[in-house]
Structure 1
């Protein structure tokens, strides 16, 4: 009953409440973004969602809009993070607009993190099961290493979550997430290890589907 009905009900109620409470932080963050760098306040990107359906995710923009340097080389993400973006990521305020995704039924508070569309072709059938539940703002992989995990370990956590989804597991993940935000450990300002490639590059661009 929790997986089928109560999880979605709790997601909807809590996201509405938190969106109201978080609105001042979104407004303040938006002001600092506009002052700090030119461009839109909200970053949108298509991701793979529940049952492999694509959807548009919302986040506060934390990077500048200049992807290439003066010599035409692609800049690393960590070098594009703005001053305001570092603070916003540290406090995880950039994730607040995803409450709209939850209200719309595209996401949940807890579940596997939604990844970019181009990765779809490289999942094994077992890894693809991570999309059998709604993607989340935080998840089991995020509280067990986040960017320090390799792709295979991330997906093992995701599939484990799908197979063991329960109220108690969600509660455990929620408390661990809060603890990490308060302590500043593994927040979204953390840059991923140098040896962690994009998932399609990790699979040598050999498509499965």
Structure 2
């Protein structure tokens, strides 16, 4: 995929779709608020299991890079031991020994991601968009993929085109290409397609780690 004049394409696309952004933001806020209210009993249950399973906090905060390179703290249910990064930042893998017993199921069925609806309500994320990365990994990826920061031209999301087409295991270059496809072609129809394709990914625990 060619990304020449990519920023110009994004700006033109954004100017032509103010209604799209209004609708998307409204849906993000409404869906996130309703989800947190409906899932409240589940959230309480998960919190209890996390506390019983291992010492440490219920929630896990980590700095990620969002829209236009602005950092924010992403919120998740804690799924790893409290000393998970005692040896420095590192990627998680499917058989990671740092993952707790409860954390295994939280990650497998994406339950650990539910608190990110609060990030959406704060305007830091969207339901659909590129997954937010840590600054240290972005700098590392840029060594081989100089355009990797172009993913930051839209709000990061809980799910997205790259997640449903490649999951967590794809290489940074392929992730960039898939995310840029979404950035250059975003629409209500494409968002609906991503949501529908995300459902089996969650139900059948595809591509988790």
TM-score (norm. length: structure 1): 0.82
Partner of 1:23: 40
161, 164, 174: which one aligns with 2:182 = 161
> CA 1:167 to 1:38, structure 2 compared with 1: closer, same or farther past 3 Å?
same
Note the C-alpha offset of 1:90.
1.9
Residues 21-49 of structure 1, C-alpha deviations (whole Å, 9 max, x = no match): 12111111111110000000000001000
3-state SS of 2:161 partner = coil
Q: Is contact 1:127-1:159 (8 Å) kept?
A: no
> Contact 1:61/1:94 (CA < 8 Å) preserved in 2?
yes
Once the two structures are superposed, residues 34-66 of structure 1 have per-residue CA deviations (whole angstroms, 9 ceiling, x without a partner) of 000000000000100011100010000000113
Instruction: Say yes or no: does 1:43 pair with 2:60.
Output: yes
Residue of structure 2 aligned with 1:57, choices 74, 81, 104: 74
Q: TM-score, normalised by structure 2?
A: 0.82
Matched, 1:183 2:200: no
Corresponding residue to 2:98 among 80, 83, 100: 80
Structure 1 residue 74: Cα displacement? 9.2
Rounded to whole Å, the distance in 1 between the matches of 2:55 and 2:168 is 28
- 1:196 counterpart residue number: none
Q: CA contact under 8 A between 2:138 and 2:148: conserved in structure 1?
A: no
Query: Which residue of the other structure, out of 137, 141, 152, is the alignment partner of 1:119?
Result: 137
Query: Cα distance, 1:121 vs. partner?
Result: 3.4
Q: Which residue does the alignment assign to 1:12?
A: 29
| Structure 2 alignment gaps of length 5 or more | 1-17
Counterpart of 1:128 in structure 2 is 149
C-alpha deviations, 1:67-98, integer Å up to 9, x for none?
Answer: 379xx899984111011001111221100100
Aligned to 2:50: 33
| C-alpha distance in 2 between matches for 1:12 and 1:127 | 28
Aligned length: 186
Q: 1:120 to 1:74 in 2, by over 3 A?
A: closer
Aligned Cα root-mean-square deviation (Å)? 2.2
How many angstroms does 1:150 deviate by? 0.9
Q: 1:170 to 1:31 in 2, by over 3 A?
A: same
| Aligned twin of 1:149 | 170
Look up the match of 1:203. Answer: none
